[in-house]
Amino acid sequence: MSEALPVRRFADVRAALLAKQEIALLDVREEDPHAQAHPLFAANFPLSRIEITAYAKLPRRDVPIVVLDDGEGDAERAARRLIALGYRDVAVLEGGVSGWQAAGGELFRDVNVPSKAFGELVEARRHTPSFSAEEVKALIDANADVVIVDARRFDEYQTMSIPTATSVPGAELVLRVPALAPNPKTQVIVNCAGRTRSIIGTQSLVNAGLPNPVAALRNGTIGWTLAGQTLDRGQSRRFPEVSAAARQQAATAARQVADRAGVGRIAPGVLADWQAQNGRTSYFFDVRTPEEYEAGHLPGFRPVPGGQLVQETEMVAPVRGARLVLVDDDGVRANMSASWLAQMGWEVYVVDGLQAADFAQTGAWQPPLPAPPAVHEIAAPELAARLEAGNVAVIDITTSANYLRGHIPGAWYARRDALAEALTAIPAAGLYVLTCATSLLAPFAVAELSGLVEGEVRVLSHGTQAWKKAGLPLESGATRLASAPIDRYRRPYEGTDNPREAMQGYLDWEFGLVEQLGRDGTHGFFVI
């Protein structure tokens, strides 16, 4: 019989948050149920992917961890998996989501709520200027002297954008906008899909002292659509390169903003000690573009462009009370990103005194992973032959989005956390083959699946990616769903086919976040 797990009460977690102690409050349900209701600082940390996410997101093994669900039993399973991975201070939240609410705790819906609530607080405190969709459309139609910049990721911008807009992701704004609008009389308008990134982007330019008039597009592409106006698709306008003089000017302005926010400074020599994670959780983020990161970066730093880091902090840094260390090679993007994170209650530092030679490591970031269990593999060509012969079930435990884009013909989609339920839909077979995108996750599901079926269980070597590389066909769409695809919450502001009611409901929810922050009382935000 398994040992009973420690339990933490609402009052314990709240006290730790108010004291700014380190605590990882982890909602281990899938993203969609998480988005329906959760505590403010509960980071989504799905049970189904714990083995391949834990070491990157929880770098210190003795960090206090509290896991929660809403009575599904996932919290206990997640706690035991974390303990098996070497974490030494793991507890279950008493009563889960319902218990939090019953004890007087505030519940929030949607995702990235701390950042979105903070953005609303910034607008309320600073009265960030904004234009309606109709006002912006009139400026465009009149060929006014206006520059529109889209503060989202480039892929989001390509999906849908405001006519004439240029892609300038959030952390790049202070560095790039002066080159896009060199005339100080040019009106600059910042947009995103909803509200947060346009508010933070606009206020970044105001805080940095851009001489131009600056305003947010009120309610972003949602507001544009609700106004009955047409969005562009597939645009490719990107921010320009800037001169050395412009970089220096932007760096000076960004440093002043960061200093006002109380951002800390560290020298490169301190990094090794902090990366040892002795008694303190530290996260290390390179906030430049992914291309710059791959061309050369500091060892031990993870690439997270600054605008996304501010927007989605809990997705990469779920330990509230940890310290964040940011780096760039120009003094602009790290300082501006850090200025916002400091106001969001983080202890945040920028690395000073770096030289070009320090950015010597090249290539993509490799997440730290536990050693996978020993499993029997099958190569893609052999699997193709076995499928031809029959009596094989391929179970794909990748994300539902990956499955829909392309999977092995006949493969079943199943969530790793729901294999037992999925097997009620999957016909019995002599051979079961587990796969995911690259088979990083699949080996960790072998023991569980083996305990549920009579047939042999193998893992597709190098996953569906290897199948594709072998020139074998893929099929797409929801062909065989053995699990509900609840691993992804459909944001009301993404894509181009959202119902008007969902978009308006999202805006109404955002407008109420400041009031919710007041009721919750644990946020620790301030606004310079």
**pLDDT digit string, tens, across residues 93-141:** 999 999 999 999 999 999 999 999 999 999 999 999 999 999 999 999 9
435 pLDDT above the threshold of 80: yes
Q: What is the mean pLDDT of residues 355-366?
A: 95
DSSP letter, residue 438: S
- Whether 235 contacts 157, CB under 8 Å: yes
- From the list 332, 350, 336, 346, the residue with the least C-alpha distance to 118 is 346
Q: Do 231 and 268 share a domain, yes or no?
A: no
Q: Do 47 and 101 share a domain, yes or no?
A: yes
In a domain, 191, yes or no: yes
In a domain, 71, yes or no: yes
Q: Do 263 and 234 share a domain, yes or no?
A: no
Q: Do 132 and 229 share a domain, yes or no?
A: yes
Residue that is written with structure tokens 């201070």 in the block:
89
Q: Do 354 and 399 share a domain, yes or no?
A: no
CA distance 78 to 331: 40
- From the list 493, 488, 436, 483, the residue with the least C-alpha distance to 462 is 436
* Total domains present in the chain: 4
Enter the pTM of the model. Answer: 0.94
Q: Token pair of 213, please?
A: 């008039």
Banded model confidence at residue 505, pLDDT cuts 50, 70, 90: confident
Specify the higher pLDDT residue, 503 or 339. 339
SS3 108: strand
72 pLDDT above the threshold of 60: yes
φ, ψ of residue 307 to 5 degrees: the values are -60, -40
- Tens digit of each residue's pLDDT (9 = 90 or more) over 449-473: 999 999 999 999 999 999 999 999 9
Q: Which of 358, 385, 416 is the last residue of a domain?
A: 358
Q: Which of 469, 497, 517 is the last residue of a domain?
A: 469
φ, ψ of residue 235 to 5 degrees: the values are -75, 160
18 Cβ contact partners less than 8 Å away, ≥ 6 residues apart:
521, 522, 524
Q: Do 38 and 79 share a domain, yes or no?
A: yes
CA distance 103 to 68: 15
Q: Do 85 and 142 share a domain, yes or no?
A: no
284 pLDDT above the threshold of 70: yes
Distances (CA, A) of 40 to 27, 43, 44, 100, 216: 11, 8, 11, 11, 26
Residue 125: the pLDDT is: 96
Residue 496: the pLDDT is: 60
In a domain, 487, yes or no: no
Q: Do 65 and 35 share a domain, yes or no?
A: yes
- Whether 349 contacts 324, CB under 8 Å: yes
513 Cβ contact partners less than 8 Å away, ≥ 6 residues apart:
108, 113, 116, 117, 120, 121
Q: Do 352 and 392 share a domain, yes or no?
A: no
* Residue-averaged pLDDT of the chain: 95
Q: What is the mean pLDDT of residues 274-292?
A: 96
Pairing mode, strands 412-413 and 392-396: parallel
Q: What is the mean pLDDT of residues 23-44?
A: 97
207 pLDDT above the threshold of 60: yes
Element (H, E) at 348: strand 347-351
Q: What is the mean pLDDT of residues 294-314?
A: 96
Q: Token pair of 129, please?
A: 């200027």
Q: What is the mean pLDDT of residues 225-253?
A: 95
Q: Do 78 and 147 share a domain, yes or no?
A: no
Q: Token pair of 378, please?
A: 């099958």
| Domain span at 125 | 118-238
The secondary structure of 139-161 as a DSSP string is HHHTT-SEEEEE-S-HHHHHHSB
- Strand 166-167: give its sheet, edge to edge: 130-131, 214-217, 187-191, 146-150, 166-167
- From the list 7, 23, 5, the residue with the least C-alpha distance to 15 is 23
483 Cβ contact partners less than 8 Å away, ≥ 6 residues apart:
413, 414, 415, 418, 421, 422
Banded model confidence at residue 495, pLDDT cuts 50, 70, 90: low
Q: Which of 60, 76, 109 is the last residue of a domain?
A: 109
Q: Token pair of 473, please?
A: 């066909």
In a domain, 370, yes or no: no
CA distance 402 to 487: 11
Hey, what amino acid is at 384? A
Q: Torsion-angle region of residue 20: left (phi > 0), alpha (psi -120 to 50) or beta?
A: left
Banded model confidence at residue 497, pLDDT cuts 50, 70, 90: low
CA distance 388 to 457: 18
Q: How many CB atoms lie within 10 A of CB 264?
A: 14
In a domain, 272, yes or no: yes
DSSP letter, residue 3: P
Residue 498: the pLDDT is: 67
- Whether 224 contacts 231, CB under 8 Å: yes
Distances (CA, A) of 78 to 75, 137, 483, 488: 5, 50, 19, 19
- Tens digit of each residue's pLDDT (9 = 90 or more) over 376-430: 999 999 999 999 999 999 999 999 999 999 999 999 999 999 999 999 999 999 9
Here the CATH number for the domain that contains residue 306 is: 3.40.250.10
Q: Where are the beta strands (DSSP E) in 90-206?
A: 90-93, 130-131, 146-150, 166-167, 187-191
Q: Do 389 and 432 share a domain, yes or no?
A: yes
Q: Do 340 and 390 share a domain, yes or no?
A: no
512 Cβ contact partners less than 8 Å away, ≥ 6 residues apart:
none
